[in-house]
Amino acid sequence: MSVSRIFDTLACLAYFDIEAIIWGQNDFCSGFADARPDRLRRNGRGLFINQLMPDNAQTEVLVVGAGPVGMLTALLLTQQGVRTRIIDQESRTATRSYACALHPASLSVLQRAGIVDAVLDLGRSIGTVGLYQGPARRAQARLSDLPGPYPFAVVLAQFLLEELLEEKLRAAGVHVEWHRRLREIQRGAGGVDAAIEKLAPSGRGDVIPEMETSVPGSLQVHADFVVGADGHNSLLRQQLGIGTVRAGAPLLFNVYEIATVEPVDHEMKLVLADSGLNVLWPMSDNRCRWSFQIVPAKTAADFPQKDRAPLNIIRPPKDWESILPLRRFLAERAPWFQTEIKDILWIAEVQFEPQLVLRFGEGRCWLAGDAAHQASPAGMHSMNLGLHEAADLAGKLKSILRDHADLDVLQDYDRLHRAEWKRLLGLKAPAQPPDGLSPWALQHFSTLLANLPASGDDLNSLLKKL
């Protein structure tokens, strides 16, 4: 057994009162080319110590889920003087996920949170979106023409965004309480009592240990409000009994992150084909990510049960046989992509079911991000609109807790964001295309509406100029 495997086994077996866990960097993590040695400790790949918090305590807002949306909600609340706790059933921030791009308007939200400069330093700016139909370039959407301080998108791996948010939270005195899973809630007129399970890694097996999670204890937290940002399998949404409405068939993509010999440009490429939607995101000078839609997708019963990122399969390629299906995809769907491939860094199969909750919450419990919606992954809408929901919800909760606003302001939160999602997902009367569109853009208007990397006024501006 390798040293790294021994460390992983120790990580599963060790559980102390201070919950100090040693995590080895296993083979899977070593395939993640974005990892930076100076950030390993913050990623949880070094010594990770969960901050001890009181088992029976009151807080003003309990945030469930420590992905980008949950951490941003907690951070904005804390910055406005609202006492906040944030829990997550996982052991650390994400190591890999599909989300990788921030919309122009999202950068303004992150500027308010105080991390936009670090995002711009670590990320890669995208000024245009090239629109293709198979081999032909048909149009382009110029993000650089948008008004506002950030007329571009930024490509940034989700785990780096989560690192920045967690670091900012720690600096504000709030520590993510990892290995904490919401079990149930009891709602009353004056707040919410949340029963939370303490999780611990454990192992069984004599020769080859199997990794499991045990529940050695629990705690009770009383909160004025609870925010569920706990992903598409949201436990809070289940507790509230909030259903969802589907907005189309499931979408299945094969994803290839590759290293290239020549540099790739600063342009996202959206390729429409009879066989499905295809997307190219440039990750860095010599690295990009291709996503190819596969039709038909799997049934809803086959959906993955992982939190925060609905990834069915992630694997580092074992040999160059992996390049054969990639070359076939490129030849059939993007023959103009002639950049020489140096290596395949990782391969994934990812599936989404476009859907929207029937309501974003009720009373003192509210949802944001993937807990409330899923969409086509091409335009990265679910995470980006989730960041806007986090900012809006944090502001409204602060107005209730500090400025004595009525609880009814939360109904405005529900109406505003459900209306935006209904438009993107085509759940209401079809959006009217702007005047002056080319025949090609008019023909594919609904697809462009759902997949361009922008929302709100920015999306309207891009559509008007196609």
pLDDT confidence of residue 342: 92
Mean pLDDT (whole number) for 56-75: 95
pLDDT confidence of residue 38: 40
pLDDT confidence of residue 244: 97
pLDDT confidence of residue 21: 29
C-alpha 356/C-alpha 1 separation (Å) is 46
pLDDT confidence of residue 408: 96
Helical pair 381-403 and 68-79, crossing angle rounded to 10 deg? 30
Contacting residues for 105 by C-beta, under 8 A, at least 6 apart: 148, 150, 384, 388, 454, 455, 456, 458
Greater model confidence, 95 or 362: 362
- pTM higher than 0.75, yes or no? yes
Q: Which residue in 459, 21, 395 sits closest to 227, CA to CA? A: 395
- Between β-strands 47-49 and 191-204, what pairing exists: parallel, antiparallel or unpaired? unpaired
pLDDT confidence of residue 438: 86
pLDDT confidence of residue 317: 54
Q: Which residue in 215, 218, 183, 182 sits closest to 200, CA to CA? A: 215
Q: Is the peptide bond before 430 cis (omega within 30 degrees of 0)?
A: no
Choose the weakest-confidence range: 2-6, 106-110, 152-156. Answer: 2-6
Greater model confidence, 241 or 349: 241
pLDDT confidence of residue 212: 72
Taking residue 21's Cβ as centre, other Cβ atoms within 10 Å add up to 23
Mean pLDDT (whole number) for 10-38: 35
Whether residue 90 has pLDDT greater than 70: yes
Whether residue 125 has pLDDT greater than 80: yes
C-alpha 454/C-alpha 91 separation (Å) is 32
Mean pLDDT (whole number) for 106-115: 98
Give the confidence band of 204 by pLDDT, cuts at 50, 70, 90. low
What letter would DSSP give residue 286?
T
Give the confidence band of 99 by pLDDT, cuts at 50, 70, 90. confident
Q: How many residues does the chain have?
A: 466
Whether residue 207 has pLDDT greater than 90: no
Whether residue 335 has pLDDT greater than 50: yes
C-alpha 447/C-alpha 168 separation (Å) is 37
Mean pLDDT (whole number) for 105-134: 97
Give the confidence band of 46 by pLDDT, cuts at 50, 70, 90. very low
C-alpha 345/C-alpha 246 separation (Å) is 33
Contacting residues for 64 by C-beta, under 8 A, at least 6 apart: 70, 86, 87, 88, 182, 226, 227, 228, 229, 230, 234, 235, 236
pLDDT confidence of residue 360: 98
pLDDT digits (tens, 9 = 90+) for 451-466: 999 999 999 999 988 8
Whether residue 33 has pLDDT greater than 70: no
For 166-286, strand residue ranges (E) read 180-188, 191-204, 210-228, 244-246, 251-260, 267-273, 276-284
pLDDT digits (tens, 9 = 90+) for 432-448: 888 888 899 999 999 99
Whether residue 66 has pLDDT greater than 70: yes
Whether residue 28 has pLDDT greater than 60: no
| % of the chain at pLDDT higher than 70 | 80
pLDDT confidence of residue 123: 96
* 3-state SS record for 311-344: EEEEECCCCHHHHHHHHHHHHHHCCCCCCCEEEE
Mean pLDDT (whole number) for 159-173: 96
Cβ burial, residue 360 (10 Å; 0-12/13-18/19+)? buried
Greater model confidence, 237 or 322: 237
C-alpha 73/C-alpha 388 separation (Å) is 10
Whether residue 378 contacts residue 422, with contact meaning beta carbons closer than 8 Å, is answered with: no
Mean pLDDT (whole number) for 331-355: 92
Whether residue 268 contacts residue 126, with contact meaning beta carbons closer than 8 Å, is answered with: yes
Residue 456 tokens read as 């709100």
Whether residue 393 contacts residue 385, with contact meaning beta carbons closer than 8 Å, is answered with: no
Greater model confidence, 46 or 266: 266
Choose the weakest-confidence range: 372-376, 431-435, 448-452. Answer: 431-435
C-alpha 325/C-alpha 353 separation (Å) is 24
Greater model confidence, 343 or 315: 343
